[in-house]
């Protein structure tokens, strides 16, 4: 049915091997003359290589896999875009799997990607802090690597993988200091679930910066939740409720360690008629595309999402595979102050 390399070879009057070399072979060992003839036959017949067959023969596919929580989430969407672009540049297609951060599904996804013999796997989700979970994932990835697979991680997933180091902690600390400089002293912070390393890293940055100024978040002013809009909303509600019940004054600044969460925070504050930034300053993290369009424009920490994805692919595809730590890419995090933050009490 389909046109095969054999058809092309016959049409061009050359052997299968020559046709293969002319079209897809890496080694330059075909006369330009024959090569041209083959190429001509190829598109005269509308030849399209059979990728699975190539993958089988070379025992390495022309795809790269991406593991992430949710493509529809702007953070991951940005990364997926970068991975896809870099993959395309390398002539590869990208296989993306949304796991909702469920380790079981991640494990399953890794196995599938492995089965598909993807050239590399990009770990875009957060690493976990739960040892038993890590172990299973590491084992699956180790099996994959043993068979020649490359894996690159975005944010630290341990020393076994090439990693695009993201300045999560530093960024969070810088953001916190910016708020401190504005004069804030009463903070609330909303972070992700304890099991997510990224969330903990960011939190560490905040706490460290706070500590430098001799501050510690009061009981109830540190909330953990999923990195979702709804999670952020609920966390903000809890913060207000806790403050009111205990008769404590509201914090003057709340740091949500994800822009999506921050969107929820803003929504909750609006619903409660608490003015931002007049009564409470709000900051997020990631600088997703619409951060600047929120009400008010969200102060946040900018991460080069697409670039991170591209870096990861570059790391994974790099020749040799020598994994010197020095080769790890580094993604910077830049504080972007917009309208959702202001000095406390100026109004």
Residues found near DNA in the complex (CB under 7 A): 1-2, 4-6, 13-18, 20-21, 23-26, 28-31, 33-35, 47, 49-50, 53-54, 56-59
Q: How far is the CB of 259 from its own copies (least distance, A)?
A: 9
Cα 259 to the center of its chain, rounded Å = 14
Q: What angle do CA 304, 167, 64 make, to 5 degrees?
A: 55
Neighbouring C-beta atoms of residue 333, cutoff 10 Å: 25
Residue 28 vs 219, nearer CB to DNA: 28
Q: Helices in 46-130 by DSSP H: which ranges? A: 51-58, 74-89, 103-115
Residue 229 binds which of DNA, its own copies, none (CB < 5-8 A, kind-dependent) = its own copies
Q: What angle do CA 314, 77, 67 make, to 5 degrees?
A: 60
Residue 59 vs 246, nearer CB to DNA: 59
Residue 72 vs 115, nearer CB to DNA: 115
Residue 26 binds which of DNA, its own copies, none (CB < 5-8 A, kind-dependent) = DNA
Structure tokens at 327: 């080769």
Residue 289 binds which of DNA, its own copies, none (CB < 5-8 A, kind-dependent) = its own copies
Residue 343 binds which of its own copies, DNA, none (CB < 5-8 A, kind-dependent) = none
Following DSSP, what letter does each residue of 219-239 receive, concatenated?
TTSEEE--SSHHHHHHHHHHH
Q: How far is the CB of 38 from DNA (least distance, A)?
A: 9
Residue 56 vs 142, nearer CB to DNA: 56
Residue 18 vs 176, nearer CB to DNA: 18
Following DSSP, what letter does each residue of 167-205 receive, concatenated?
-HHHHHHHHHHHHHHHT---EEEEE--TTBHHHHHHHHH
Phi, psi of 194 (to 5 degrees): -55, -30
- Give the interface with its own copies as residue ranges (CB under 8 A): 1-2, 46, 48-53, 55-56, 61-63, 65, 70-74, 77-78, 80-81, 84-85, 88, 93-98, 111-117, 143, 146-148, 229, 263, 266-267, 289-290, 292-296, 305-306
Residue 47 vs 161, nearer CB to DNA: 47
- What span, in angstroms and rounded, lies between the C-alpha atoms of 177 and 122? 32
Phi, psi of 25 (to 5 degrees): -65, 150
Q: Give the number of residues written for the chain.
A: 347
Residue 267 binds which of its own copies, DNA, none (CB < 5-8 A, kind-dependent) = its own copies
């Amino acid at each position: 049915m389909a046109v095969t390399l054999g058809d092309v070879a016959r049409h061009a009057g050359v052997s299968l091997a020559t046709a293969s070399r002319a079209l897809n072979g890496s080694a330059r060992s075909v006369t330009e003359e024959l090569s041209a003839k083959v190429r001509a036959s190829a598109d005269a017949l509308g030849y399209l290589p059979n990728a699975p067959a190539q993958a089988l023969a070379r025992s390495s596919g022309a795809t790269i896999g991406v593991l992430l929580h949710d493509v529809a989430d702007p953070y991951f969407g940005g990364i997926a875009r970068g991975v896809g672009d870099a993959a395309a540049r390398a002539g590869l297609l990208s296989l993306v799997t949304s796991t909702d951060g469920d380790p079981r599904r991640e494990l399953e996804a890794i196995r599938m990607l492995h089965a598909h013999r993807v050239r590399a796997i990009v770990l875009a989700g957060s690493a976990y802090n739960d040892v038993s979970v890590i172990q299973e994932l590491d084992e699956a990835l180790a099996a994959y690597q043993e068979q020649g697979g490359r894996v690159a991680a975005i944010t630290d997933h341990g020393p076994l993988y090439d990693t695009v180091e993201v300045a999560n902690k530093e960024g969070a600390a810088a953001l916190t200091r910016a708020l401190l400089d504005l004069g804030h002293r009463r903070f609330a912070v909303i972070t992700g679930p304890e099991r997510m390393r990224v969330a903990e890293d960011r939190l560490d940055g905040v706490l460290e910066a706070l500590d430098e100024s001799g501050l510690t978040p009061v009981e109830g002013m540190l909330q953990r939740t999923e990195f979702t809009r709804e999670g952020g909303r609920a966390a903000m509600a809890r913060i207000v409720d806790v403050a009111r019940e205990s008769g404590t004054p509201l914090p003057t600044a709340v740091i949500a360690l994800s822009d999506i969460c921050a969107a929820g925070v803003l929504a909750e504050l609006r619903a409660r008629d608490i003015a931002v930034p007049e009564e409470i300053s709000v900051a997020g993290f990631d600088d997703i595309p619409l951060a600047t369009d929120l009400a008010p424009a969200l102060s946040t920490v900018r991460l080069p999402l697409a670039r991170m994805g591209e870096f990861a692919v570059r790391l994974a595809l790099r020749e040799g595979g020598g994994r010197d730590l020095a080769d790890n890419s580094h993604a910077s995090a830049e504080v972007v102050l917009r309208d959702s933050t202001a000095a406390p009490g100026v109004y």
